[in-house]
Amino acid sequence: MLLVMDSTVLRWFPPLRAVWAPVGEQALVKITGENAKRTLWGAINPRTGRRVVMATRRGRQEDFMAFLRALRAAYPGRPLLLVLDRASCHTAQKSQRLAARLGIHLVLLPKQRSELNCMDHLWRPLKQHVSANRQYPTVEQHVDAAIQWVLGLSPQDALRKAGCLAEGFWLRDLLEKFWRLT
């Protein structure tokens, strides 16, 4: 089973984007006086569009290891090939050993090549549609809305937004000619 994974940080303070307001009036985005953040971990099957998403309080090695366990639980008994970036929590020895024990083969992308990570492409519209210019009552409600948005996409929409259906998608030949059984 081929999966591509990435993580992103959701902040309680909203990212500010372009927003319309009446001429002469400044657009207001209400925020509270304290910030909080959560890390969203996500993986997508670039052939089927199935997603696995999990939230943690931080983005540490232990949190990545918890996500590896969640992936194994989502795909029990199947060999997993996981494409991911070179974040320090991904390359740490403990993470590498756990992945090997779980039967997950980690394939590290080249440095500074986020355009190759289709899960990274899925975070952009998430932040535009769910996070931009609004603050939720709690950071947990923000996380819930984000997870609901990612998992609420149809497989076809998820693949399209992640760039997996693009003609130049770098894994296309592998998926069409070799990886037919995922």
Give a yes or no: residue 24 inside a domain: no
What are 83-142's pLDDT values in tens digits? 999 999 999 999 999 999 999 999 999 887 888 899 999 998 988 888 776 777 888 999
Count the neighbouring beta carbons within 10 Å of the beta carbon of residue 115.
Answer: 11
Give a yes or no: residue 70 inside a domain: yes
Give a yes or no: residue 121 inside a domain: yes
Give a yes or no: residue 22 inside a domain: no
Distance of alpha carbon 147 from alpha carbon 41, whole angstroms: 10
Distance of alpha carbon 169 from alpha carbon 39, whole angstroms: 27
Give a yes or no: residue 92 inside a domain: yes
Phi, psi (deg, nearest 5) at residue 9: -105, 130
What are 47-65's pLDDT values in tens digits? 999 999 999 999 999 999 9
Per-residue model confidence (pLDDT) at position 182: 47
What's the CATH code of the domain at 39? 3.30.420.10
Structural domain including 134 reads: 2-17+34-178
Give a yes or no: residue 143 inside a domain: yes
Largest interatomic CA distance in the chain? 61
Per-residue model confidence (pLDDT) at position 128: 85
Give a yes or no: residue 23 inside a domain: no
**Do the beta carbons of residue 42 and residue 57 sit within 8 Å?**
no
What is the number of structural domains in the chain? Answer: 1
Give a yes or no: residue 104 inside a domain: yes
Q: What is the pTM of this model?
A: 0.83
